Each structure stands twice: as C-alpha cells, then as structure tokens.
Structure 1
Amino acid sequence: MRILGDVHLAGIGSWLPEAVTTQEAVDRGWYAFADREGSGMRAVRVAGEVPAPEMAVRAGRTALRRAADAAGLTPDDYGALLHAATYHQGPDGWSAPHYVLRHTLDRPLTAAQIGPGCLGMLAALELAAHRLTADPSRDAVLVTSADNFSAPVVDRWNSSKLFLLADGGAAAVVSRRGGFARLLSIGSASAPALEEMHRAGEELFPPGITVGRSLNFEERNAHLRRRWEQGTAAPAVHFGDVVADTVDRVLEEAGTSLEKVTRICHTGYARGALHSIYLAPLDVEPALGTWEFTRDIGHVGAADPFIGLEHLWARGEVGPGDQVVLLAAGPGMEVACAVVEITAGHREQTAHPAHRPTAEEDHR
C-alpha cells in the first residue's frame, strides 16, 4: 500500500535488559556447542522477572519523549494505542494494552492488542496509518511491543533452531505532524498453505499452555518431518518466494527499488534462518541488514525491526534521505514489509539503544 498522505514516525524507543552470552549458556549446559557455532549468535537479552508490559512502558516513554521534541505531540493528540505481543503478557482475562496506556499516555483512548506473532508491530503500523488517514481528529497513534520468554515452560535456548528467544520492548509514535522518518509504503502477504507449520502435532483444544505444554517449535518441525518421510506431501509453497514478492511489491509502491535501500531492519534470526528466509530470497548480503547487531540481541518477538531501526538511527548509520526497509515474518505464515525514508538525524545525546537504562532513566 502506497501511503498517499503524510504519515511519519515521530518517535521511537526500545528497552533491552542485560545480555547473557551464548558462551555462558554453553558452559552452563543450556545450549549445545554445535548449535551455538551454527547459529552465529553471541548473546541474548534476558529480563528475568520484568513483566513484558513494563518493558513496553519503558520503550513507550522514550518514544513519546522523542515525539514531543520532534513534533510537539502531547498525550491529548493521540487517538489510540496498539500493542503487539507474541507471548503471554500477564493474567488471563486482563488487558496488557490498557496497562501500557495507563502508564504512558493515561488518556481514555482505545487500546488493542495486535497480532499475528512476530510481524505484529508492522501490522500495528499499518493499522495506525489507516487510522490517521481516516480520522483527522487526532494526530498520532502509539505503537508498542514487548515480550518476556523467561517463563518456566519456555526453553529460550532450544525451542527453535531458527532463533533464540529474547526479552525486550520497542515503541514508535506514528504521526501526521512530522518526525524523523516518513512512511512511504507498507504491505503484507500470507501463505495459508503453510499455516500448519506452527501447530503440527498439537491439538487446538485445550490450548497447550493450559495443560503445561512448552513453546517448542522443534517438536512441531520433527512431527512434520516424520509425516513427510512417511509419504505425506510437503506444501508446494516456498516462503522465500512470498518474502521476495512482498518486498518487491512494497518497494514498487514506494517508488523505489532494493538497489536504493540503505539498510534492512529484519527479524533477529540465527544465521541460517536469516540467510534462507531473507537474505537469499532477496539476494542481499548480511551487511545490508542488522545481523551484526541482532546477533547480540536475539529474537525479541514483534519488536525486532523497530529495535534495529532505532539502533541505526541513533548511531547515525542512517540519515536524512536514506531509505530503510522494515521486514518481519510470522505464523500464518505471513510476511510484512514497510519502507521509510529518514527525514531527520538523531540529535539527542542519549545512551546506546541496547544499553539498559538506570531506574532514574526508566521513569523520566
């Protein structure tokens, strides 16, 4: 979808906890040495008992502060809060988005949780763009995301060979008033034939978490491989083609091409998955993406592309005139992509985005 009106990112923020190195994980017996060598991952962010919605609040406060500086936005200028999450946020029957709303904007706005999975924050960005285009009464939408995979039923080191699950949060202010980047286009596409990839071998009811099942994608992949070995036909769809076709379309809608893109902010996959899902289908080198950053972070659910964008922008690795692709994939299977053009450099003298703020910084 080409963005015809003025839709900008007025502020961006992230909150990441301390790193646990993959070498420590190997030494403690959590992670196999061979898996560490194959993944290329150096560290993962682990939040311990910090709740996911609290991490979203901390990231949201940074984004709101920057949006106020860049576009003069106040809480009364916001029309909604959209919160993306890939794992459980707190008590059943409770609304994490309204917790984030209460501790950030604190206004009687609509607050909703957005999916699906790891592309949820890009889906929220698209919904925010639609809302700003359709409703002129408010000038901004706050988009947040956060996850904490420290739950006892999750083995962050071995739940998938594609990634290491990491904790953290991110936020972005989507605005009509300007900011540091302009949204040029955004879109998504799914491959429903691949829907079973993320549920293979598990019944839909009762939900696995209610009977103590862990989040284990490797078990599901093993189930599928056994079925294929027994003669069941594998899906004819290649997800890499879906990724390439979607990126090409969204770039065309933005009036640009991959050759003109300065950087790609992608999901924090391990080396093999990053290559097969993104780099090879797009025929690009790792240096165009954020691999050297994400290999010290891990896969922070839906927050990855925005954590990467903040990192590049705050460090001056992208500046005015540069075009950046935000890219994520998730269950469904589905891929989402956005193209933004940087319109202003980072002028704040702040800590590195991956730095864990002090308690005083958290509550500024």
Structure 2
Amino acid sequence: MRLDSPLALTATAWYPEGRQTVEEAVAAGDIPAKTARELGYTSLPVSEDTAPPDMAVEAAHQALALSGARAERLSLVLHASVHHQGHDAWSAPHYIARRIGADNAVPIGLLQQCNGGAVGIELAASRLQGDPDAGPALVTTADRFLMPSWHRWLSDYGMAAGDAATAVLVDRAGGPTGPGRAPDLLLHSLATRAASELEVMHRGDDGLNATPMGHSPMIDVRRTKRAFIKAYGVDFFLKTAADRIRGVVEEALAAAGLTGDDPRLRHAVIPRLGSKAMAEAYIPPLTDVTSAEVLDLGRATGHVGAGDLNASLADLARTDLLTPGSHALVLNGGGGFTFTAVVVSKC
C-alpha cells in the first residue's frame, strides 16, 4: 500500500505485572526443557485479574495521553484479538470505545488471528487516505491465555503466548493530534498478502461444529497442525510462507522508496514466535530481501496474540532502537494465513 504521504503513529503496549519465567514453567511441568530451549523465551507476562478489553483500555489511554489526541475526535476504534474477550455474543470494540470516551468513533472488531493488529493499521490508513474529513483512528489489541481453555506454553507449536494489550493511534502527519506533540513514528508504507490455502493448518481434519470448544475442552492447535503436516507436508507451508514473506517485504520497501541494503534501514523486526520457528519460516525469506539487522523483541513477552507487530512498534517508539530519520521494517503473520510488512521511521 503506497501512502499519499507518511502517517503519524503513536504506539504503546500494556503488560501485566505478573510473569512466569521459563525456569518456573519447566519446574512446574508446564513445558519440557527441550521445547523451552527451542522456543527461546525468558518469561511470559500473565494477567490473572485484568480482562483483555480492560487491558486494551489501559493501552488506549496511554496512547491518547502521549499523542495529545482527544478521544471524541477518533473516527475509528479497531480492536483485534485471538482469544476470549470476557463475554459471549458481545462487542468488545464498543466497550473499549465507551470506556475511553470515543463517542463519535465507529468501533470494529477484527478476527484476523495473529495478524489482526497489523491489518487494523492498514484499515486505519485506508480510512484516513480515503476520507479527508476522518479523524484519527485507534487500533487496539488484547489477549489473555488462561487455562482451562488455553495452555500458554503447549496449545501450539513454535510459540508460547503472553498476555498483553497494545494501542496504536494512526493520524495524518502534522494533524491536530495535540498541542505541539510530535508522533513517535512515521508510517511510510504497508503491504499485506494472504495465503488462504493455509487456513487448513488451524482446522486440520475437523468438521465445522455447532458450539464453541466442541472439538476439544482446550484449544489444541498442535492437533490440527499435525493433521496438516500429514496431509500436505512441512515444505508446503514453508514454501508458501516464504513466497508471501518475500512479497510483502519487497512491496513495502519499494513503496517506502527503500532498497533492501539501504543504509537508512536500520532493523528488520520479526514476529514474537519461538526462535526455532523464526529460524525456519521467517528469517530465511526476510534475509533474502534485506541485509538490515534482524531484530527479535519478543523473548521476554512471548507471542502476544493479535498484537505482535503493534507491540514491536511500541518498542521502536519508546526506546532508542531507532534514531531520528532511521527506518525499520516490521514483519508479521497470522493464521489464515495473512502476512504484513510495514516500514516506519523515528521522528
């Protein structure tokens, strides 16, 4: 997606105080030591008391305060999640909008699995480019992975799940977000490509049931992935994913006016999956396209559901990983499958 002009981003992430270290998880029998080494995480944030929409509200308040934007000026509140949000047959996005005072915004929920936060930023950018009267858009994500429905260490291969929320305010650069406040980052381009032929990875041999959790009492993505591998083989996934990853990286860099070896491109940020999964599926096609330093920001957070890319934007915004004028490419993917890359620079 080529932008008419760079968009302003203010990005924050909220993490609970509770944590489970990998040593504690191994000692408790939550994960085998060999699997823990392959994942490469040091700890996972754990929210026992705060529900995901309330986590999103906390992150949203932070983003609004930092940007100086007024909640009543928001045109969209886009909320993405992977797991249960705290109630059934109910709209978490409307709850978040009400809690932050975004009374004029249209709340929209996104079910894009682990790429939901990234797609939210793309939809926000499209709204701002397509409607000159639209106010800023807020993209939130929040997920919490608790038993008995989700085993944060063992419900899936290649990742462990941490509890977190993110908020990214998307606005026009130089727009009236607040009294003289500069944005954290400038968004220069986005690219998204899908691989719908991979949706079966999260469905396996299962039929479509009539009630939630009808296939098993705990979400078990390992079971569906085993069925996928038996039917299609690992190489089918790796080749398909590599094709889409190279495609989104090339497209995002070109739309931002950068080459893969451009000295302005400081980092190429990868998703917050396990180290082995990153080495096998994401890093090879990424490094085919760019020589930028690969940056892994997820060792102390785990995979944060729909918010990996957005959490990495928050890290880029709130630290000195980037200097003013330097760029980063942030890559993400989510079940379905959909892959997104964005290019940002530090203000």
Closer/same/farther in 2, CA of residues 286 and 185 from structure 1, 3 Å limit: closer
- TM-score when normalising by structure 2: 0.90
How far has the Cα of 1:141 moved from its partner? 0.6
1:179-218 to structure 2, matched below 5 A, reads 179-210=183-214, 212-218=216-222
1:251-270 to structure 2, matched below 5 A, reads 251-260=253-262, 261-270=265-274
Contact 2:238–2:281 (8 Å) recurs in 1: no
Give the number of aligned pairs: 334
Any idea what SS the aligned residue of 1:133 has? helix
Alignment-derived partner of residue 273 in structure 1: 277
Alignment-derived partner of residue 97 in structure 1: 93
Alignment-derived partner of residue 158 in structure 2: 162
Closer/same/farther in 2, CA of residues 212 and 141 from structure 1, 3 Å limit: same
Which letter does structure 2 place at the counterpart of 1:94?
W
Aligned partner of 1:243 among 233, 242, 245: 245
1:1-364 to structure 2, matched below 5 A, reads 1-9=1-9, 11-17=10-16, 18-68=18-68, 73-178=69-174, 179-210=183-214, 212-227=216-231, 237-260=239-262, 261-283=265-287, 288-291=293-296, 293-343=297-347
Task: Return structure 1 stretches of 4+ with deviation > 6 angstroms.
Answer: 284-287
Aligned-pair identity (%):
28
Which letter does structure 2 place at the counterpart of 1:8?
A
Work out the CA distance in 1 between the residues paired with 2:236 and 2:173: 48
Contact 1:83–1:97 (8 Å) recurs in 2: yes
How far has the Cα of 1:215 moved from its partner? 1.7
How far has the Cα of 1:239 moved from its partner? 1.0
- List runs of 5+ in structure 1 lacking aligned partners: 344-364
Work out the CA distance in 1 between the residues paired with 2:14 and 2:291: 24
How far has the Cα of 1:265 moved from its partner? 3.1
Deviation per residue, 1:257-277 (Å, 9 max, x gap) = 232321233321111111122
Deviation per residue, 1:64-96 (Å, 9 max, x gap) = 11110xxxx222321111111111212111110
Contact 2:268–2:292 (8 Å) recurs in 1: no
Work out the CA distance in 2 between the residues paired with 1:210 and 1:161: 21
Deviation per residue, 1:102-143 (Å, 9 max, x gap) = 111341321001131111111111111111112222331111
Contact 1:184–1:340 (8 Å) recurs in 2: yes
Closer/same/farther in 2, CA of residues 77 and 198 from structure 1, 3 Å limit: same
Work out the CA distance in 1 between the residues paired with 2:54 and 2:259: 38
Closer/same/farther in 2, CA of residues 138 and 236 from structure 1, 3 Å limit: closer
Deviation per residue, 1:154-187 (Å, 9 max, x gap) = 1111112210011100001100144222211112
How far has the Cα of 1:228 moved from its partner? 5.2
- TM-score when normalising by structure 1: 0.86
- List runs of 5+ in structure 2 lacking aligned partners: 175-182
Closer/same/farther in 2, CA of residues 199 and 5 from structure 1, 3 Å limit: same
Contact 1:15–1:59 (8 Å) recurs in 2: yes
Any idea what SS the aligned residue of 1:26 has? helix
How far has the Cα of 1:210 moved from its partner? 4.7
How far has the Cα of 1:339 moved from its partner? 0.9
